[in-house]
Chains A and B, each alone.
Chain A
Amino acid sequence: MIRELLVAFFLLSGGALSLVAAAGVIRMPDLFTRMHAATKTGTVGVSAITIGMIIHFSEVTVTSRGILVIAFFLLTAPVAAHMIGRAAYRSGVQLWILTRIDEWKSHGKNEPDEEA
């Protein structure tokens, strides 16, 4: 019973977090703020669902693979975000007009672009 409750909890929170991520992706004003939502909430959401699944099955193979899924997400999601963020920034995607400060622009201006 407790197991079922746990499963339900994790699945529901995963679903809810995904919804939040979705709302963020839709509602946030610029790319970078949207990425906050997508990267963090999305990863946590899918991890929660994975945990729910692990608990549901409680088998070695499922657990190991579930952990693999989570590990991969934790490793790749930020890297992917970083790659897109940096690419977007460098290719001139506009920050939200209310962005307060841009130190990269001021400091990093003189830095030669590696690929240019």
Chain B
Amino acid sequence: MTSIIFRTATRYMFPPLLVFSVYVLLRGHHYPGGGFVGGLFAGSAFALYALAFSVADARKVLRADPRDVTAVGLALALLSGIPPLFSKEAFLTGTWWTLPLPAGGTLDIGTPLFFDIGVYFVVLGVLLTLVFTLGEEE
């Protein structure tokens, strides 16, 4: 049991940190950030949670096993390179779709984005695997 103060602060910081991590991830293509730093932030949020409460609690919040998160992320990154196969282009060729936004603008969605999301999950999973395992070590 750690401090009330710390745990309370953590409880209030945890959601914004996760939101911030997604923000960093999604803006990464245009501004500083990206999947890597985003994943680190998300992982840090869970690490903070594990420090304040316990690794077991943090695992409960995450629900999935971090190693599965990693594997899924890696799979996503790998798969994002496959679509060009169907248009006879090289592996990892960026494929973009422009979506109209309700407010009138447009949004570019492309395979590099999915790649970055894959990176995000890998980093998240990796960091948590490390932190949780080290935290659980006797």
Contacts and interface: CB of A to CB of B under 8 A. Distances in A.
Contacts, number: 18
A75 B12 contact: yes
Interface string B2-28: 110110010011000000000000000
B1 interface: yes
Contact of A82 (B1, B5, B12, B13): B5
Q: Interface on chain A toward B: helix, strand, loop, or mixed SS? A: helix
A interface bracket (residues with beta carbon within 8 Å of B): under 10
A105 to B, nearest CB: 19
Interface of B: 1-3, 5-6, 9, 12-13
Given A72-B13, A76-B13, A79-B6, 12 more contacts: A75-B12, A76-B9, A79-B5, A79-B9, A82-B3, A82-B5, A82-B6, A83-B6, A86-B3, A114-B1, A114-B2, A115-B1
